[in-house]
Structure 1
Amino acid sequence: MSGTPGAPVPAAQSAARAYRPLLRAGVRIGPPLLRGPRTVYLIRHPATGAVSEVGTREHFVISRLDGTRNLDDLAPAYAARFGRRLAEESWNRLLGLLGARGLLDGAPDPPAPASAPAPADTLWRGTRRMVADADAATARLHRALRPLLHRAIQLPLLAAVLAMVLVLALHTGELGDGAAELIRQPVVLGAVALFLWFSITVHELAHGVAAQHFGGHVAEIGLRWRFPAAMLYCTVDDYLFIPGRRAKLVIAGAGAYVNLALLLPFALWWSALPGGDPARPLLAGLLLLGSVQALSNLVPLPPLDGYRMLGHLLGTAHLAPEARAYLALRRTGSEAASAYPRRARLIYTAYGIGSVLLLLLAVAGTCAVALVLLA
């Protein structure tokens, strides 16, 4: 939105100037997000779920549309904030846009956007909705598990998970030997693979339960397959609008946390067995594969959960593509790179360098593990 300096407002007011708009009930406005050189806000329609993106100036006005203010009421505050008066043309244009998108009280719902038809399911890849009402199903699961989500239980459990990860990190050699032994026993390896598949299923449901705990909405639960793998998925469609950074971090990290918590009984069993017990190396192999599965989801690379957590922590939107775009501008010497604020330059540069290092580390680690197992 742009404003222009001008003379005092004339006494005669048009109908648009006198109009005191009110946002539609249930409209949700997200927190500020860094996207490229701009700070943006997401606005969600309560009925259609359509999400709009607006800038700082538009958000300043929209967040004050409570049905008691008109243009003349908002203009002084706008001028004090942005150093220029809110032009009537900009006011009319913004109200027209909000009305067309059905975000004002009394405005009709906008027509549903035409979506491309989903590709037909095949043996090789596809998606199938498994639960008719995913939100109701996860709500029931949340009610059943709610006593376990109390801090008195979760804080000691979190401490136990962190202690387990530390102990396993100190025994990586034994865990690697256990994984090699596990590979030599196909039947046991198949049982471990089944457990890990179950762990992925619980991982997805954990996202949904965490979203329910913080007031989110689970849109869909289904099965996605890419031959020969198949796994459950759980879609939370509004968690970006849940207030509080901590809630978003918990929702994004719930899956990996539950995966690690599922390993706790096996870690206790493994630690209680004497060194010569034949079950100990098999358990060590399970712990290695399970912890790698869980912790790899915390790597801050798309589309992993760690990438979403880093985006929430930094308050950014589309971190990876925006970092690539900024670094490309810098590489070509474009003047557009100078439009980025200092915070954006630091974040995008650090993420670009860090993501390259992570990829190199992941490739090196994969090659090292493969060589050890082959040896």
Structure 2
Amino acid sequence: MSAEPTTLFERRPRLRPEILLSEPLLRGPATVHLIRDPVVGSAFEVGPKEHFLISRLDGERSLGEIGGEYAREFGKRLGEANWNRLLGLLGGRGLLVGSPRREVVAAPSTPARVGGLYRGSLRLVADADATAERLRRLLSPLLRPVVLLPSLALGLALQVALVVGIETVLRDTWWLLRHPVPLMAVFSLLWTSTVAHELAHGIAARRYGAAVSEIGLRWRLPFATMYCRVGDYRFLPRRRHQLTIAAAGALANLLFLLPFGLWWAVLEPADPTRRTLSGLLLLGGVQALVNLVPLPPLDGYTMLAHLLRAADLAADSGRYLRLRTRDRPAAARYPRRARTIYTAYGIGSCVLVCLLVAAPVTAAYALFAP
């Protein structure tokens, strides 16, 4: 039986195993780490030094040993006051094994339906995480790389074929837009594609260990869309898993179009069905690819933020660029990496917005010009 520690530095506190720690994230001029207690849903941010200490509270190393590692890394040894402050913070939040759980006033349960007739949301399943897990298991044979990668290659080849024949595809789409019956059929299929898009996020999240908090329907009449909320994906240790979860929706859209693309490819050019399929493939391809544009709230923006390890890329870029015009010495205090990322994203997002505005104008000219 081990002896009880007689000094603070002999203690071996342990972080509760379910506590989640994120990788370093850029937050304005600072680098932060997120810490989340999934049991009570609380979260907060700490700096790199605090994360260095908290991540080593494994119950094996003593505070003296961790303090020695800290001194070698940062050139400063922590005193008892520093440790008492940190342990008091963690213990007060109930994050340490053996510390009393923080009393959290139970929030009223979120109603299944929020909002009114014209604008609101409706939760469709009681346990979204379990539903996503069942879908993942059901579709697991199709998620193997030997099936998924060739299918994605065919989906991208289909988009190339549409670009090659864009003149005919645009003409067929213009025909579709003037015929309500086939247009309604196409819109129904595109809405089904959005369902696949949202569920794909949840399936990918379950595949890599992230939780799915809610699956439901959101509407703002006359439009209604599915949604799938994924939680804790920022705490996944591998960046490629975060990117895959964010990209899963657009990839599902491309795969959804694949059987229609094969049907379109075997039809004769004069076949009326081919016109409808051309419009479906063009509109569906735009739906998938626009989601990859790195502007909020699109999936491409989430992917770029994961890639750059930035906590709030768009807002922080805007704040930095405004600071450059008002207080250049303060802006100069940003680290070089932050200055580069925020400047590049601010300029790049402006260019992207201009291109997105110009694209429909160009398409309209191609349709209506003699």
Pair 1:112-2:109 in alignment: no
2 CA distance for matches of 1:113 and 1:362?
Answer: 46
User: Quick one: which amino acid aligns to residue 144 of structure 1?
Assistant: L
Note if contact 2:217-2:227 (Cα within 8 Å) is conserved in structure 1.
yes
Normalized against structure 2, the TM-score is what? 0.92
1:344-363 per-residue CA deviation (whole Å, 9 max, x = no partner) reads 11111110000000111111
Identify the match of residue 82 of structure 1 among 74, 86, 92. Answer: 74
Pair 1:215-2:209 in alignment: yes
Normalized against structure 1, the TM-score is what? 0.91
Alignment of 1:294-305 (within 5 A): 294-305=288-299
- 1:339 Cα shift? 2.3
Note if contact 2:250-2:291 (Cα within 8 Å) is conserved in structure 1.
yes
Pair 1:343-2:337 in alignment: yes
1:239-263 per-residue CA deviation (whole Å, 9 max, x = no partner) reads 1112211111111111110111111
Match of 1:222, SS state, is: strand
2 CA distance for matches of 1:131 and 1:305?
Answer: 23
Q: Give the aligned partner of residue 28 of structure 1.
A: 20
Pair 1:354-2:363 in alignment: no
Deviates more, 1:22-31 or 1:249-258: 22-31
Identify the match of residue 151 of structure 2 among 152, 157, 167. Answer: 157
Deviates more, 1:353-362 or 1:100-109: 100-109
Q: Give the aligned partner of residue 271 of structure 2.
A: 277
Identify the match of residue 304 of structure 2 among 300, 306, 310. Answer: 310
Match of 2:115, SS state, is: coil
Pair 1:58-2:42 in alignment: no
2 CA distance for matches of 1:247 and 1:138?
Answer: 17
Identify the match of residue 144 of structure 1 among 120, 138, 147. Answer: 138
User: Quick one: which amino acid aligns to residue 53 of structure 2?
Assistant: V
Pair 1:41-2:44 in alignment: no
2 CA distance for matches of 1:302 and 1:329?
Answer: 21
Task: Structure 1 unaligned segments of length 5 or more: list them.
Answer: 1-12
Deviates more, 1:52-61 or 1:238-247: 238-247
Match of 1:219, SS state, is: strand
Note if contact 1:26-1:46 (Cα within 8 Å) is conserved in structure 2.
yes
- 1:46 Cα shift? 3.6
- 1:96 Cα shift? 1.1
Pair 1:97-2:89 in alignment: yes
2 CA distance for matches of 1:365 and 1:229?
Answer: 23
1 CA distance for matches of 2:367 and 2:88?
Answer: 64
Match of 1:289, SS state, is: helix
Cα distance, 1:120–1:256 mapped onto 2, change above 3 Å: closer
Note if contact 1:71-1:88 (Cα within 8 Å) is conserved in structure 2.
no
2 CA distance for matches of 1:110 and 1:304?
Answer: 36
1:130-163 per-residue CA deviation (whole Å, 9 max, x = no partner) reads 1011111111111110111111111111211221
Task: Structure 2 unaligned segments of length 5 or more: list them.
Answer: none
1:1-53 per-residue CA deviation (whole Å, 9 max, x = no partner) reads xxxxxxxxxxxx98544432110121121111112122111112141132221
Pair 1:226-2:220 in alignment: yes
Cα distance, 1:185–1:104 mapped onto 2, change above 3 Å: same
- 1:120 Cα shift? 5.2
Identify the match of residue 321 of structure 1 among 315, 325, 339. Answer: 315
Q: Give the aligned partner of residue 6 of structure 1.
A: none
2 CA distance for matches of 1:48 and 1:275?
Answer: 59
Count of paired positions: 363
User: Quick one: which amino acid aligns to residue 11 of structure 2?
Assistant: Y
Cα distance, 1:181–1:216 mapped onto 2, change above 3 Å: same
2 CA distance for matches of 1:92 and 1:330?
Answer: 40
1 CA distance for matches of 2:105 and 2:43?
Answer: 12
- 1:374 Cα shift? 5.8
Pair 1:238-2:232 in alignment: yes
Q: Give the aligned partner of residue 255 of structure 2.
A: 261
Match of 1:291, SS state, is: helix
CA RMSD, 1 decimal: 2.1
- 1:275 Cα shift? 2.1
